[in-house]
Amino acid sequence: MKTSFTKHALRRVSERLSLSEEDIGIILDSNRVHPVGRDRGSSRVHKLFYSTLDDLCFVAIQDEETGKVITVLPIDYHNRWRISLEVQQQARDLIKRKIEIKKFRLSANVEGGIGNERRTINLGTIKKNDYGRTLEIAAENPEVRKVAEERLSGNIRHGEHVTHIFIRKGRKGIPVLLSNEDKPS
């Protein structure tokens, strides 16, 4: 079942995380989470996941019958269960495990404009071997940022500004911020 979000959950994601709801959906759909509990008498499960952009763990409360995320909580808000450092490390390890791919995907988060909305712009792919054999090397390569900024121009609406430009391994990889996080002009 594909992950979806309630309006409340979408507000909490935009307030609390740098990851987009699309990224969180990928994490939940690929089961790169650590289960930390469930609500008694309901189908709501609590799933710990790690955000690479925030360098923090969060808990998604999701209805396992519908796939809807009810809310996303920072771990210090999640007071039903104590989440040990060991379990947090396991959640990090699930995100950072190796994924073999041939291309890196570029994206940007922007916000502002009409209604001060937040959206993700897909900037397409680049060949892995053209910019660095690992995601970390490519994220530090200034040529990758240049490609992203070129592809971004013309996609920004009036009143919007870029909050993050990131790179990921393939479609389901976890995003990594590009180096020199200055906003493009």
Domain extent listing, the chain: 4-96, 103-177
How many whole angstroms separate alpha carbon 63 and alpha carbon 50?
A: 19
pTM over 0.85: no
At 59 the pLDDT is: 94
In this predicted structure, the answer to whether residue 185 has a pLDDT above a threshold of 50 is no
Beta-sheet strand order (sheet of 117-127):
117-127, 103-112, 160-169, 176-177
- Name every residue whose Cβ is closer than 8 Å to that of residue 138 and which is 6 or more positions away in sequence: 104, 126, 128, 131, 132, 144, 167
User: What mean pLDDT comes out for the span 139-146?
Assistant: 91
- pLDDT, one tens digit per residue, over 48-69 is 999 988 889 999 999 999 999 9
In this predicted structure, the answer to whether residue 105 has a pLDDT above a threshold of 60 is yes
Q: Is residue 161 within 8 Å of residue 110, measured between CB atoms?
A: yes
Strand pairing of 44-51 and 34-38?
A: antiparallel
- pLDDT, one tens digit per residue, over 160-169 is 989 999 898 8
> What's the chain's average pLDDT?
86
At 157 the pLDDT is: 87
Q: Is residue 72 within 8 Å of residue 24, measured between CB atoms?
A: yes
Q: By mean pLDDT, which of 111-120, 132-141, 173-182 is the weakest?
A: 173-182
